[in-house]
């Protein structure tokens, strides 16, 4: 837990794209579940988060079923139970919408995780990172990007974060 004296320390923003989803007929996009591969990969992501020391203080998750299922399976592999907020604005969010959401984060969170979708998460990763990775990585399902941001969440902006880690735990 942060105290008033350490509020200016860097924060970590962890971005997690949902695991592989299924495409059942006559199911709305928002209600698409995880595919078999997604149900296999999501727990691997959770183990990776735990082993990498990237357990969040709080999670903001898309309301889409595939994102909720991804987080539930990943969270089951953590030794902690961070609070989760299911946020409709993450579903189909633009990079600007995600940035505005990050700027609203609780100042007490040292590490926050967003479970969401592309292209928004990929664009947020590239937009915040300074220097921008060259060449840019591919952003497959179940990717994890860990960005270190200086100062307060409210100050997050283009090219003011450092990309600390980019991983596709499900593929490793």
Q: Which domains does the chain have, with CATH numbers?
A: 8-171 (3.40.50.1240)
Q: Reading across the β-sheet that carries 111-116, which strands appear in turn?
A: 84-87, 58-62, 111-116, 11-17, 144-149, 162-167
pLDDT tens-place string over residues 45-92: 999 999 999 999 999 999 999 999 999 999 999 999 999 999 999 999
pLDDT tens-place string over residues 99-144: 999 999 999 999 999 999 999 999 999 999 998 888 888 999 999 9
Q: Tokens standing for 88? A: 């409709």
Model confidence pTM above 0.85: yes
pLDDT tens-place string over residues 82-109: 999 999 999 999 999 999 999 999 999 9
pLDDT of residue 171: 66
Cβ partners under 8 Å of residue 96, min gap 6: none
pLDDT of residue 135: 80
Averaged confidence pLDDT in the chain: 92
pLDDT of residue 3: 30
């Amino acid at each position: 837990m942060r105290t008033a004296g350490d509020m200016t320390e860097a924060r970590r923003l962890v971005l997690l794209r949902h695991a592989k989803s299924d495409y059942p007929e006559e199911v709305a996009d928002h209600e698409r579940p995880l595919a078999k591969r997604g149900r296999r990969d999501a727990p691997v992501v959770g183990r990776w988060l735990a082993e990498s020391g990237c357990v969040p203080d709080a999670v903001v998750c898309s309301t889409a079923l595939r994102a909720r299922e991804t987080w539930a399976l990943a969270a089951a592999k953590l030794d902690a139970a961070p609070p989760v907020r299911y946020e409709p604005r993450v579903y189909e969010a633009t990079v600007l919408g995600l940035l505005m959401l990050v700027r609203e984060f609780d100042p007490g969170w040292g590490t926050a995780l967003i479970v969401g979708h592309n292209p928004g998460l990929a664009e947020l990763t590239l937009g915040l990172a300074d220097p921008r990775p060259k060449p840019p990585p591919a952003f497959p399902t179940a990717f994890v990007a860990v960005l270190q941001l200086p100062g307060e969440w409210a100050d997050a902006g283009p090219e003011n974060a450092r990309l600390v880690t980019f991983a596709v735990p499900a593929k490793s």
